[in-house]
Amino acid sequence: MSTTEAAPTSDEASDEVAILSDEASDEVAILSDEASDEVAILTVSEAALATVLEVRAAEDDPEATALRIAITGATMTDFQYELDLSPIAEAVEGDAVYSQGPKGELTVVIPADSIERMRRATLDIPGGAQAGGLVIRNPNVPNPLDGLDLDLSGELPERIQAVLDQAINPALGSHGGYATLVGVEGTKAVVTMGGGCQGCAASAMTLRDGITKMLLEALPELTEVIDATDHTAGENPFYT
C-alpha cells in the first residue's frame, strides 16, 4: 500500500512519541522532537485521521484502542503493511507508542522491527476523488539484496545472470514474471521482461526501481540497465 507520491501531513500532528522500555511504567514515557531528532516515525494526515477515528468509533472502547501499523513483507520496490485496531495495552517492549491529531485523539503503535523502515512515512488517503481506503507514503524502500548470499563468480555476464537467477526472478515469479539477460554492451546490461511483467503498466517502475537497483548494487562495475522489452506484445500492453 506504499507509494512515492508526495504526501500532505497535518500541521497540527503531535510530535510526541514514546518508546516502551524496561524502565517504563504503566504510563508511557514521552519523548519530544525538542529532545531528539530521531522520534519522528509515521505521521497521520488530517484526512486519514478522520477516517481512522470514524472506524475506531465502532470499537467497544475507542479511547483504549490504538492504530497498529506493521511492515509484514516487501516486494522488489515497496514494503507490505498490516494495519489493525488493537488495545493500547497490547503494545510491548520496544514498540513506538505515540499520539496523533491536534488533541492527541489517536494512539499509534509501530512494532519495534518496523520502526526504522517506517521513519518519515505518512498515512494518508489516496489522491483520486473516487478512491477509498488509506495509503502509506514511505520514503524508505526495501533493500532487495538483504539476507542474500549471492554467488557472483565468473565474468560480468555470468554474474548478471546469477543476480537474475538468485535474487530478481524469484521475486518476479510471485507475479508470474521474469527477467532475461539479452546481452552486455561494455558496462551496460540489456534486459527484457516476460511473463506477467511484459506489457504490465508497473513493469517500467519495477525495472527502474527494482531490477536496476539490484543489479547496480550487486555489481558496482555495471553502469546502466537497458530495457529491451517489447511491451506492446504483452498480455496487458501499455505502450502503443
**pLDDT digits (tens), the chain, 240 positions:** 445 333 333 333 333 445 554 443 333 433 333 333 345 599 999 999 999 999 999 999 999 999 999 999 877 778 899 999 999 999 999 999 999 999 999 999 999 999 999 999 999 999 755 667 899 999 998 876 776 778 888 999 999 999 999 888 887 776 678 889 999 999 999 998 887 655 555 666 666 667 888 899 889 999 999 988 876 665 554 433
CB neighbours of residue 96 within 10 Å = 23
Handedness of CA 142, 147, 153, 154 (dihedral sign): negative
Domains delineated in the chain: 2-137 (2.60.300.12), 156-233 (3.30.300.130)
Q: β-pairing, 79-87 with 65-74?
A: antiparallel
Residue by residue, DSSP assigns 92-103 as -TT-EEEEESTT
The answer to whether the CB of 67 falls within 8 A of the CB of 82 is no
E-strand ranges in 29-143 read 42-44, 65-74, 79-87, 96-100, 106-110, 121-124, 135-137
Q: What is the pTM of this model?
A: 0.64
Radius of gyration of the chain (CA): 22
